[in-house]
């Protein structure tokens, strides 16, 4: 039996850059990862969409994963699972990045389908691609279903179930598609001991758990990790009322923060952490975002989320 990602909340970590030369700011990237890890998360996702993965060079990817793994180990947090995005447009590069991630300390590989030529990415082509990735990967694999960044390519529940039944090394999926029906069908068909379904948005953490998910990988976890963990724990303890109340706050904020994009999310994190605007730089062609003043206004969805974060973080 292949190991599965731990149940709970995961943060898709951000990658920070030095504004003067656009190089990776390893120190801040690691500091942010540790801040998240200390909030009680089940693990971290590195080199995802919010980590600006398409803009990161292979050597930088490996260095980032290695630095975060080393920092977690040295901080007594080595048990946290690291899921690393390794998908690329070719099988060859996908496998290289997967091997690099494994050598750097990753526990799982998260793989987007190739999507540059959408009409050519038929079901047999994608099935063969994932068969080869799963067979040759040195670590367990999760499929990443995110049609918005994959030219509309969308895995159905049957697609995921079929590949998983053939390939024991496919142990889960991140569903940023937001299809709760897929969460339910895949979880029911494969079983929670065989396959970990992880939601890909904070707006449906609770909904996914009810449908059988193992947890959530949500961009908003970067802003309020403790609030997400509190929601998860309330549900697992059977306090549905508290979980619903927290989900309402998180869902509202997720809707508003998602409109800010990757650059806006990074700016928001830097503002909360007190790191200053220089740390909020993004890699070209992305442009830094200016946060609207309304984000922090009293009564805004973000201010209510930050209040929840403060409340659940009290000793």
CATH number of the structural domain spanning residue 47: 3.20.20.70
Maximum separation of any 2 CA atoms in the chain, in Å? 55
Distance CA 111, CA 156 (A): 16
Chain segment 182-211, per-residue pLDDT in tens: 889 999 999 999 999 999 999 999 999 999
| Residue 129 in domain | yes
Q: Flag whether pLDDT at 2 surpasses 90.
A: no
Domain residues for the domain of 232 are: 8-312
Query: Is pLDDT at 28 greater than 90 in this prediction?
Result: yes
- 1 within a domain of the structure (yes/no): no
Which one of 62, 174, 266, 279 is the catalytic residue? 174
42-65 pLDDT, tens digit per residue, is 999 999 999 999 999 999 999 999
pLDDT at 314 over 90: no
> Which pTM was predicted?
0.96
* pLDDT band at residue 1 under the 50/70/90 scheme: low
> Domain for residue 2, yes or no?
no
Terminal Cα distance for the chain, rounded: 39
Residue 282, pLDDT > 80, answer: yes
Q: Which residues of 263-273 are buried (b: 16+ CB within 10 A; e: fewer)?
A: bbbbbbbbbbe
8 Å CB contact between 5 and 83? yes
Helix (H) or strand (E) holding 143: strand 141-145
Q: Is 160 helix (H, G, I), strand (E, B) or coil?
A: helix
* Span 204-263, pLDDT tens digits: 999 999 999 999 999 999 999 999 999 999 999 999 999 999 999 999 999 999 999 999
In a domain, 65, yes or no: yes
**Is 292 part of any domain?**
yes
Q: Which residues contact 202 (CB under 8 A, 6 or more apart)?
A: 216, 218, 219, 220, 221, 228, 250, 251, 253, 254
Give the C-alpha separation, 93 to 186, whole Å. Answer: 28
Binding residues for pyruvate: 217
Mean pLDDT for the chain overall: 95
In a domain, 24, yes or no: yes
Provide the domain count of the chain. 1
Instruction: Let me know if 235 is a catalytic residue.
Output: no
- Considering the candidates 10, 144, 232, 235, report the single residue annotated as catalytic: 144
In a domain, 3, yes or no: no
* Residue 41 resides in a domain: yes
Helix (H, G, I), strand (E, B) or coil at 45: strand
């Amino acid at each position: 039996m292949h190991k599965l990602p731990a149940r709970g909340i995961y943060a898709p970590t951000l990658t920070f850059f030095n504004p003067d030369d656009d190089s990776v700011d390893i120190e801040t990237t690691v500091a942010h990862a540790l801040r998240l890890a200390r909030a009680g998360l089940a693990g971290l996702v590195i080199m995802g969409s919010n980590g600006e993965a398409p803009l990161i060079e292979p050597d930088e990817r490996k260095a980032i994963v290695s630095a975060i793994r080393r920092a977690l180990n040295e901080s007594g947090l080595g048990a946290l699972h690291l899921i690393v995005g390794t998908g690329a447009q070719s099988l060859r590069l996908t496998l290289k990045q997967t091997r690099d991630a494994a050598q750097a300390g990753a526990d799982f590989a998260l793989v987007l389908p190739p999507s540059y030529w959408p009409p050519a990415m038929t079901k047999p082509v994608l099935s063969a691609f994932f068969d080869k990735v799963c067979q040759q990967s040195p670590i367990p694999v999760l499929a990443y279903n995110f049609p918005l960044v994959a030219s509309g390519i969308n895995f159905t529940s049957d697609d995921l179930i079929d590949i998983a039944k053939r390939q024991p090394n496919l142990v889960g999926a991140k569903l940023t598609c937001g299809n709760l029906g897929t969460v339910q069908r895949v979880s029911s068909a494969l079983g929670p001991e065989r396959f970990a379904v992880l939601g890909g948005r904070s707006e449906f953490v609770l909904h996914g758990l009810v449908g059988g998910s193992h947890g959530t990988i949500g961009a908003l976890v970067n802003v309020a990790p403790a609030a997400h963990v509190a929601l998860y724990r309330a549900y697992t303890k059977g306090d549905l009322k508290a979980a619903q109340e927290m989900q309402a706050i998180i869902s509202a904020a997720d809707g508003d923060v998602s409109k800010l994009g990757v650059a806006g999310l990074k700016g928001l994190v830097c503002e909360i952490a007190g790191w200053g605007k220089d740390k909020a730089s993004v890699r070209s062609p992305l442009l830094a975002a200016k946060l609207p003043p309304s984000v922090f206004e009293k009564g805004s969805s973000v201010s209510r989320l930050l209040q929840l974060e403060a409340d659940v973080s009290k000793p």
